[in-house]
Structure 1
Amino acid sequence: MHSESIPKQIIQLKGKVIHGEGRGGKIGFPTANIDFTATWLETGVYGVRIRFNGQKYFGVMNIGVRPTFHKNSPKNIEVHILNFNEVIYGISIQVEVLFKIRNEQKFHSVDDLKTQIKKDIANAKSNFIL
């Protein structure tokens, strides 16, 4: 499966990494929650490039309301940075949206969500120019 679309102009977001609910780490995919009001952004899962502290990383970002876990939640942004395992709370990062992988969706179980996240990561890796 390849990305749905590649934006003509790369969307860039900047924000500070804040504490979330910690659920991503508990299910094996830790995320950096970004303090950024995303009301104008389309919900979905995206392949992204992340920059901070002079370094460049790649990852998968979800913009949305986390419907598998919440009925009514404000839209948020969380990024799973590939091959990364550091604590970066309070650090400002830049996220560049490179391509959309899929729309956000509600899963019947956490295991179904984990399976899809693995597919999303594989999809993103196949589209990155490393």
Structure 2
Amino acid sequence: MEIIRGLEHLRPGTECAATVGTFDGVHPGHLKLINRLVELGSAKGLCTTLVTFYPHPKLVVGGKNVRLLTTIEEKIELLGKTKLQRMVIIPFDRSFSKLSYEQFVRDILIDKLKTRALVIGYDHAFGRNREGNYERLKEMGSRLGFSVERVEPFRLNDRIVGSTLIRETLAAGRVDEAARMLQRLYTISGRVVHGSARGKLLHFPTANVEVDNENKLIPADGVYAVDVYHKGRSYKGMLNIGCRPTFKNGKQHVIEVHIIDFNENIYDQTITIAFKKRLRDEKKFESKEALIKQLEKDRAESLKL
């Protein structure tokens, strides 16, 4: 898949079948749409092109409290596993957000991308105030010479799988349910930083993780069974998100992971954590011994998963 950052880097003359959106999470609903785009592009001899935006539009026009399922790097990696030929990343700012859907279609989809077929999701709309809905795009297509096709949603247990539902599920700590919706484990990546070294004193040394992207969604506080990826290898682990209430001055919010059967110095290195199951709430223990006993139970359960 070719990555094009900015419309100025497009090669002239290439006609395409396109889809447009943020594709946060790259979930099965997105993949269903992409598969249809690939089918259509192949049948018509068009370059299959996914158009997305960076940063996420809601970070520009919706405030700073947006939590994302995928960073742009994760999105590129996941989309690279599809049969898409091209991904176009358009810089998104307040000026761009003021474009009407007619301007977006004419100036970008038609003039710059040479779009001849457009595939959109069941609830998709774009342009200023999301005015560019399916009916209006169909009407423009009939005038400007491109087809428009709408793809129905992906459902799981009679629920439509979408980015908002997955975010809500992760925010509640139901990471195993979110994994079923994503059809993969939810992951975060970050740099290992120095912590208080309390875990080492408990014989459960932990790696404190500083997440790469401040807008990345972090699941609810608690203890989780996880997989940890480091330099191409995977390890089982148990992870705590929270404030470590057993200890005094436990007010700092931390993400710390005990990597089972691992004894390497990985400070300042990047690890990726995949969430498998939430084991329990974070809680305050009456003694160090009681905490260690619970940690042993957490480790035993994590090893089973």
**TM range, smaller chain:** 0.7 to 0.9
Alpha-carbon distance in structure 1 between the residues aligned to 2:250 and 2:206: 20
Alignment of 1:15 onto 2:206: no
Q: When the two structures are aligned, how many residues end up with a matched partner? A: 124
Which stretches in structure 2 are left out of the alignment for 5+ residues? 1-173, 180-184
Counterpart of 1:89 (choices 240, 252, 267) is: 267
Alignment partners' CA distance in 1, 2:218 and 2:265: 28
Native 8 Å contact 2:207 2:258 kept in 1: yes
Question: What is the match of residue 25 of structure 1?
Answer: 200
- 171, 176, 195: which one aligns with 1:6: 176
Please say which structure displays the higher CA radius of gyration: 2
Deviation track 1:17-69 (CA, whole Å, cap 9, x = no partner) reads 00000010011000000012688531110000111111111100000100000
Pairwise mapping of residues 1-130 of structure 1 onto structure 2 (< 5 A)? 6-9=176-179, 10-36=185-211, 40-126=218-304, 128=305
* Contact 2:224–2:239, Cα closer than 8 Å, also in 1: yes
* Contact in 1 for aligned 2:246/2:285 (Cα 8 Å): yes
Gap regions ≥5 residues in structure 1:
none
Distance 2:230 2:247 in 1: 30
Query: Is the 8 Å Cα contact of residues 241 and 256 (structure 2) preserved in structure 1?
Result: yes
Q: Could you tell which deviates more after superposition, 15-24 or 66-75? A: 66-75
* Aligned-pair CA distance for 1:73: 1.1
CA distance in 2, matches of 1:39, 1:74: 18
Q: TM-score, normalised by structure 1?
A: 0.87
Q: TM-score, normalised by structure 2?
A: 0.39
In structure 2, distance between residues paired with 1:46 and 1:81: 12
Deviation at 1:74, TM superposition (A): 2.5
Partner of 2:48: none
Tell me if structure 1 keeps the 8 A contact 2:227–2:236. Answer: yes
CA RMSD in angstroms, aligned pairs only: 1.9
CA 1:33 to 1:110, structure 2 compared with 1: closer, same or farther past 3 Å?
Answer: same
Deviation at 1:71, TM superposition (A): 4.7
* Structure whose residues are more often strand by fraction: 1
- Distance across 1 between alignment mates of 2:220 and 2:192: 20
Distance 1:33-1:5 versus aligned 2 partners, 3 A rule: closer
Which gives a bigger RCO, structure 1 or 2 (Cα 8 Å, sep 6+)? 1
